[in-house]
């Protein structure tokens, strides 16, 4: 499975981190808002009770409580507030007429704790403290009388607030009172619930949109961040043995990217210098070896002619001459490869009839194949021409044909096909034999590589034939590749641009 891209991971990570932060922030905000709204309800209940202490202690007629609630809250909201008054024996003195049936008044816990020093004195004692702020900020131990005086509050117990949930609604219940009586005020929380639900739903709707926007932003930022790296990768990908002079252009972006560019350019400078030096050494060494090898060949040929026929000296001179010619072949191949690496392979361009060149080569190959009882089959389209170096093209085709003979088997076969495909001329050389092992195929065009089968059968050659043939094909704008290899059939295909665009030539 292909791993996700760096850009995708950055965008996903940005969305996840932002989602976690927004979720935590939204949860904290919702909790604070919920806490503040509940505190506001508690202040409202407490203010209502302490502003009308006559609801207990006999200071007002309980029959007028309903009209008082309607006056305070409005007639349309009178069912939003519930009132319950009980005496010290737990008997109900008053209960709102619209008290919900699913809320059991006896199930409400009426236990209260002492308020400490507040309200511990006589209930009729006038408080000496001066009230400040809103009514719910005033001391719970005092209340304002009709005459404007500050009198002791009848609520001597610390108030207690809690939620009571019924099947149809949720109520915020406040319990207040003294040693003799209890006052219970319950406020419907439907509005609070609706407000908090709207807030939560709105946040849940906006959160995915925000995460998408953040993810897109992370994708864009990651794209901007990796853009210099893409440029570096494109330049590095376009570098070949003939393009080592390419460098990554410096940019005025981040210092880290500029430092990376400088390091890579420095590495390319060293790589180019090393490659040029190695190429120059190979070309110079091959060139310098040509003269002494030619001298050695001449001397050996002269000594061979002067030696007594059939003598041991003649056999030695013959073997030395053969090895000298082999060295000359290797030297010539190395020189051509060195020039190809440097992009300086000399080409004498002319119109070449591949059919005629192939016919001449086939005659030599048939004589060699006959020694191993190998039959040669040829199929070609006449008049196919390419523009190239005739000598080099002949050498490339000769290398393929010789390999077809050397890596064949007794009573085997060789198939030679020359045709055209669109604007290409294709030469396909096939042969029988055991085929090429799967592990050896990636190294077929490496220099000096010889398969295990070649070494085991003592096949002539040093492993430069395919490498040289491919470099010649590339120098002509073509290609050489292994098409098929299996027991009984191995095929190589040489493709070259047609001189006349794939149309058959009428020239002789």
Q: Report the mean per-residue pLDDT for the chain.
A: 78
Mapped to the 3 state alphabet, what secondary structure does 70-119 carry? HHHHCHHHHHHEEEEEEECCCCEEEECCCCCCCCCHHHCCCCCEECCCCC
Q: What is the pLDDT of residues 219-251, one digit of tens each?
A: 888 887 777 777 777 777 766 655 666 777 776
64-78, 188-202, 305-319, 385-399: the lowest-pLDDT one: 64-78
Q: What is the average pLDDT across 105-121?
A: 70
Domain 255-341 sits in CATH 3.30.420.310: no
Mean pLDDT of 475-503: 86
User: Comparing 469 with 454, which gets the higher pLDDT?
Assistant: 469
Q: Which residue has the higher pLDDT, 367 or 64?
A: 367
Provide the 10 A C-beta neighbour count for residue 14. 19
Report the b/e string of 133-171 with b at 16+ CB within 10 A. Answer: eeebebbbbbbbeeeeebbbbbbbbebbbeebeeeebeb
Q: At residue 152, does pLDDT exceed 60?
A: no
Q: Please provide residue 182's backbone torsions phi and psi, each rounded to the nearest 5 degrees.
A: -130, 135
Distance in angstroms (rounded) separating the CA atoms of residues 56 and 311? 145
92-95 and 81-87 beta bridge pairing: antiparallel
- For tokens 């001298």, the residue is 295
Given a cut of 60, whether residue 257 has pLDDT beyond it is yes
Q: Model confidence at 141, in pLDDT bands (50, 70, 90)?
A: very low
Check pLDDT > 90 for residue 137. Answer: no
Entry pTM: 0.49
What are the extents of the domains in the chain? Answer: 6-116+134-196, 255-341, 349-497
- Looking at residue 139, its pLDDT comes to 43
Q: For residue 166, give Cα distances in angstroms to 16, 95, 187, 190, 429.
A: 39, 18, 13, 12, 91
pLDDT confidence bin for 431, thresholds 50/70/90: very high
Output the pLDDT for position 140.
Answer: 45
Q: Which two tokens stand for residue 486?
A: 């299996």
Residue-wise pLDDT for 264-302, tens only, equals 888 878 877 776 766 666 666 666 677 787 888 788 888
Chain segment 357-416, per-residue pLDDT in tens: 898 888 888 888 888 889 999 888 888 899 999 989 998 999 999 888 888 888 889 999
CATH of domain 349-497: 3.30.565.10
Residue 190 has pLDDT above 90, yes or no: no
């Amino acid at each position: 499975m292909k791993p996700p891209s760096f850009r995708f991971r950055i965008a996903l990570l940005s969305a996840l981190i932002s989602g976690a932060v927004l979720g935590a922030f939204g949860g904290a905000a919702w909790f604070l808002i919920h806490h503040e709204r509940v505190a506001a309800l508690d202040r409202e209940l407490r203010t209502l009770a302490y502003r009308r202490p006559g609801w207990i202690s006999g200071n007002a007629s309980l029959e007028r409580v309903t009209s008082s609630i309607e006056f305070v809250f409005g007639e349309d909201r009178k069912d939003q507030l519930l009132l319950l008054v009980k005496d010290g024996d737990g008997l109900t003195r008053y209960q709102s007429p619209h008290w919900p049936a699913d809320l059991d008044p006896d199930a409400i816990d009426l236990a209260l704790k002492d308020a400490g020093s507040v309200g511990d004195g006589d209930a009729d004692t006038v408080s000496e403290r001066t009230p400040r702020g809103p009514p719910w900020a005033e001391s719970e131990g005092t209340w304002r009388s009709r005459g404007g005086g500050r009198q002791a509050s009848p609520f001597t117990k610390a108030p207690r607030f809690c939620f009571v949930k019924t099947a149809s609604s949720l109520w915020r219940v406040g319990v207040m009172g003294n040693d003799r009586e209890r006052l219970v005020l319950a406020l419907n929380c439907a509005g609070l619930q609706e407000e908090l639900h709207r807030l939560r739903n709105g946040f849940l709707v906006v959160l995915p949109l925000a995460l998408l926007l953040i993810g897109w932003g992370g994708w864009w930022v990651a794209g901007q961040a990796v853009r210099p790296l893409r440029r570096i990768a494109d330049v590095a990908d376009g570098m070949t043995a003939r393009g080592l002079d390419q460098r990554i252009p410096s940019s005025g972006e981040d210092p880290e990217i500029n430092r990376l560019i400088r390091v890579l350019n420095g590495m390319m400078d060293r790589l180019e210098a090393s490659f040029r030096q190695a190429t120059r050494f190979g070309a110079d060494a091959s060139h310098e070896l040509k003269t002494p090898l030619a001298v050695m060949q001449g001397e050996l040929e002269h000594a061979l002619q002067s030696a007594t026929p059939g003598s041991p000296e003649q056999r030695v001179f013959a073997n030395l001459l053969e090895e000298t010619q082999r060295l000359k072949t290797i030297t010539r191949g190395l020189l051509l490869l060195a020039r190809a690496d440097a992009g300086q392979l000399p080409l004498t361009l002319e119109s070449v009839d591949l059919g005629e060149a192939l016919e001449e080569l086939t005659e030599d190959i048939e004589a060699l194949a006959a020694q191993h009882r190998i039959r040669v089959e040829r199929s070609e389209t006449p008049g196919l021409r390419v523009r190239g170096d005739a000598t080099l093209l002949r050498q490339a085709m000769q290398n393929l044909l010789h390999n077809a003979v050397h890596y064949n088997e007794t009573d085997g076969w060789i198939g030679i096909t020359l045709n055209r495909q669109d604007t290409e001329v294709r030469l396909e050389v096939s042969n029988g034999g055991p085929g090429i092992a799967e592990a050896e195929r990636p190294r077929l065009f490496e220099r000096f590589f010889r398969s295990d089968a070649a070494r085991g059968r003592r096949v002539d050659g040093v492993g430069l034939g395919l490498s040289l043939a491919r470099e010649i094909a590339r120098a002509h704008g073509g290609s050489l590749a292994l098409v098929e290899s299996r027991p009984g059939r191995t095929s190589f295909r040489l493709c070259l641009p047609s001189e006349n665009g794939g149309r058959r030539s009428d020239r002789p």
